């Protein structure tokens, strides 16, 4: 079965759902757009604009030069890769992948380094883990530090796997080649703002569609309870985590499922990441890394809860 056939079938399924269940569709679409307007735009858009400006001013290399040895030794990346590493860890999905893609497009990093960076620099932000996952959804039933440690330990293991076994420790780009420069500060600001709004609008479209898809799963519910919440959690994580938190699933299952879904990012983040990646960059390394991270996060957190 080809990808086009699957895509066409999915589109037809969503259209039928929209026509047969307009009230449910409206509720799902409104929830997705509320998330986009009230959360994604105020939290992510400023980072996209400001990081775009920093990238085009060319001063990042000077700022991070004292940390060059650290970036070479620990994550095994160039200074520009270190910039992606730091902001990808702090700012949340899908900024890490977007920065890696932008720097590749500007010839600051190689294709291999860009692909390597996508395997460990596209993560949930610490603020999302602590505030939304642990406090709002899990109600502090498990320490935030434990969840945080399990997600980022899994990410570290994944980084080491790709660095040494997949890319054979050859992940640092050579000296950067020519990159197009933007002539004035005003042009840099205008370009960064327009690029930021283009990106955030694209992400809003993905959130809208996957919120409706999650509504389909909830409405028809053709699976047992556990599989239904598994699908919801791994479709769109924000609404999925909220639903898992009020489900009737056992305590340990809710915690592990929530942490695993957060580590994976879900299908919506996968689509967003694909949308922001340069056309030369494959989504496959990112997808494989998230599958590994999902399994490792649940395993590590289970061990921490059981034995500490």
pLDDT tens series, the chain, 308 aa: 566 787 788 888 889 889 988 898 999 899 889 988 988 888 888 888 988 888 877 778 888 889 999 999 989 999 999 999 999 988 889 999 999 999 999 889 999 999 999 999 999 988 889 988 999 889 989 999 999 999 999 999 999 999 999 988 877 766 555 555 555 566 888 888 998 899 899 889 999 999 998 888 888 877 777 888 888 889 988 888 888 988 888 999 999 999 999 999 999 999 999 999 999 999 999 999 999 999 999 999 999 999 87
State the burial class of residue 308 (Cβ atoms within 10 Å of its Cβ: 0-12, 13-18, 19+).
Answer: exposed
Integer CA distances (angstroms), 108 to 60, 63, 112, 177, 307, in order: 11, 15, 12, 7, 45
In a domain, 271, yes or no: yes
Structural domain range at position 230: 21-169+180-307
Look at the chain and report how many structural domains it folds into.
Answer: 1
Predicted confidence at residue 77, as pLDDT, reads 93
In a domain, 12, yes or no: no
Predicted confidence at residue 225, as pLDDT, reads 78
Predicted confidence at residue 121, as pLDDT, reads 93
Predicted confidence at residue 176, as pLDDT, reads 54
Spatial separation of the C-alpha atoms in residues 9 and 13, rounded to whole Å: 6
Which of these, 117, 160, 155, 140, lies nearest to 262 by C-alpha position? 155
In a domain, 101, yes or no: yes
277 three-state secondary structure = coil
In a domain, 69, yes or no: yes
In a domain, 194, yes or no: yes
Cα 99 to its chain centre, rounded Å, is 12
Which helix (DSSP H) or strand (DSSP E) does residue 104 occupy? helix 95-105
Predicted confidence at residue 184, as pLDDT, reads 57
In a domain, 208, yes or no: yes
Tell me if 79 sits within 8 A of 111, measured CB to CB.
no
Predicted confidence at residue 2, as pLDDT, reads 66
In a domain, 9, yes or no: no
In a domain, 4, yes or no: no
Q: What is the largest CA-CA distance in the chain?
A: 60
Q: Which tokens in the block code for residue 1?
A: 């079965």
């Amino acid at each position: 079965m080809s990808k086009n056939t699957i895509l066409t079938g999915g589109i037809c399924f969503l259209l039928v759902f929209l026509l047969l269940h307009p009230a449910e569709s409206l509720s799902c679409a409104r929830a997705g757009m509320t998330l986009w307007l009230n959360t994604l735009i105020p939290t992510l858009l400023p980072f996209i604009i400001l990081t775009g400006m920093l990238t085009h001013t060319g001063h990042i290399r000077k700022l991070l030069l004292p940390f060059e040895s650290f970036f070479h030794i620990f994550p095994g990346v160039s200074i520009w890769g270190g910039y992606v590493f730091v902001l990808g860890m702090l700012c949340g999905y899908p900024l890490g992948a977007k920065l890696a893609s932008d720097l590749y497009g500007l010839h600051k990093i190689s294709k291999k380094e860009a692909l390597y960076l996508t395997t460990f620099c596209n993560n949930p932000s610490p603020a999302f883990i602590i505030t939304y996952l642990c406090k709002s959804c899990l109600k502090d039933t498990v320490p935030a530090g434990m969840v945080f440690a399990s997600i980022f330990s899994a990410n570290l293991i994944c980084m080491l796997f790709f660095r040494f076994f997949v890319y054979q420790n050859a992940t640092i780009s050579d000296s950067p080649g020519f990159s197009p420069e933007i002539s004035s500060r005003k042009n840099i600001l205008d370009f960064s703002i327009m690029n930021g709004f283009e990106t955030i609008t694209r992400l809003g479209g993905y959130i809208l569609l996957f919120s409706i898809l999650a509504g389909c799963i909830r409405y028809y519910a053709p699976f047992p309870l556990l599989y239904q919440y598994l699908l919801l959690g791994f479709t769109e994580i924000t609404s999925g985590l909220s639903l898992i938190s009020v489900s009737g699933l056992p305590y340990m299952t809710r915690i592990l499922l929530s942490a695993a879904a957060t580590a994976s990012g879900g299908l919506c983040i996968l689509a967003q990441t694909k949308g922001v990646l340069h056309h030369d960059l494959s989504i496959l390394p990112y997808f494989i890394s998230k599958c590994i991270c999902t399994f490792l996060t649940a395993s590590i957190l289970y061990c921490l809860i059981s034995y500490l």
